[in-house]
Structure 1
Amino acid sequence: MLLLVALVASLAIGSRPVPPTGVWAALTGGDVPAADEAAVVGLRLPRTVLGLLVGAALAMAGAVVQALTRNPLADPGILGVTAGSGFAVAMAIAVLGVTSPSGYVWFALGGALVATVVVWVVGGAGRGRVDVAQLLLGGMALTAVLSGIVSAIRLSDPEEFSALLVWESGSFQSRGWDVITPVAPFVIVGLAGTLLLGRSLNAVALGDDVAGALGTSVAATRVGSVVAIAVLAGGATALAGPIAFVGLMVPHAARWVTGPDQRWVLALSAVLGPVLVLVADILARVVMWPGEVPVGIVTAFLGAPVLIVLVRHRRMVGL
Structure 2
Amino acid sequence: MLDIHPAVSADADSPARLRRRSRARIAVVTLGLTVVLMGVIVASLAVGSRPLSPPDVVSALFSNRTDAAGVIVHQLRLPRTITAVFAGACLGVAGVLMQALTRNPLADPGLLGVNAGAALGVVVAIAVFGIGTASGYVWFAFAGAAGSAVLVTLAARPGRRTDTVGLVLAGVALSACLGALVRIITLADDDTFESFRFWAVGSFERRDPGVAAQLLPFAVVGIVLAVVVARGLDQLRLGDDLARALGVSPLPVILGAGAAITILCAAATSAAGPLAFIGLLVAHLVRGSASGGLRSSLPLAAVGGATLTLASDVVGRVIALPGEVEAGIVAAFVGAPLLLWLILRKTT
Q: Please indicate the TM-score interval, normalised by the length of the shorter structure.
A: over 0.9
Aligned pairs (5 A) from 1:134-283? 134-259=166-291, 261-283=293-315
**Given the alignment of the two structures, is residue 104 of structure 1 paired with residue 137 of structure 2, yes or no?**
yes
- 2:49, 2:323 within 8 Å by CA — same for their partners in 1? no
Query: What is the SS of the residue equivalent to 1:96?
Result: coil
Give unpaired runs (5+ residues) of structure 1. none
User: TM-score normalized by structure 2?
Assistant: 0.86
Are residues 1:47 and 2:73 paired?
no
Identical residues among aligned pairs (%): 44
CA distance in 1, matches of 2:317, 2:270: 21
The separation in 2 between residues aligned to 1:191 and 1:50, in whole angstroms, is 17
- Structure 1 distance, partners of 2:105, 2:205, is 32
What's the CA shift string for 1:238-296, capped at 9, x where partnerless? 00010000010011111111125312332210111111011101011121111121110
Partner AA of 1:306 in structure 2: L
| Larger CA Rg, structure 1 vs 2 | 2
Q: Distance in 2 between matches of 1:313 and 1:151?
A: 38
Cα distance, 1:149–1:310 mapped onto 2, change above 3 Å: farther
Determine if contact 2:123/2:192 at 8 Å carries over to the other structure.
no
Shift of 1:308: 2.6
Q: Structure 2 unaligned segments of length 5 or more: list them.
A: 1-34
Distance 1:198 1:181 in 2: 26
Residues 76-106 of structure 1: per-residue CA shift (max 9 Å, x gap): 1111010010111111211222111111100
Are 1:16 and 2:38 counterparts?
A: no
CA contact (8 A) 2:106 2:280 kept: yes
Which amino acid counterpart does residue 130 of structure 2 have in structure 1?
A: G
Amino acid at match of 1:7: I
The 8 Å contact of residues 115 and 266 in structure 2, kept in 1 or not, is answered as yes
Cα deviation for residue 311 of structure 1 reads: 4.9
Q: CA RMSD in A?
A: 1.7
- Cα distance in 1 for partners of 2:191, 2:208 equals 25
Contact 2:119–2:144 under 8 Å retained in 1: yes
What does the per-residue CA deviation read over 1:46-94, in whole Å, with 9 as the maximum and x for residues that have no partner?
1111111100101110110100000101111111010010111111211
Task: Say which is worse superposed, 182-191 or 166-175, in terms of deviation.
Answer: 182-191
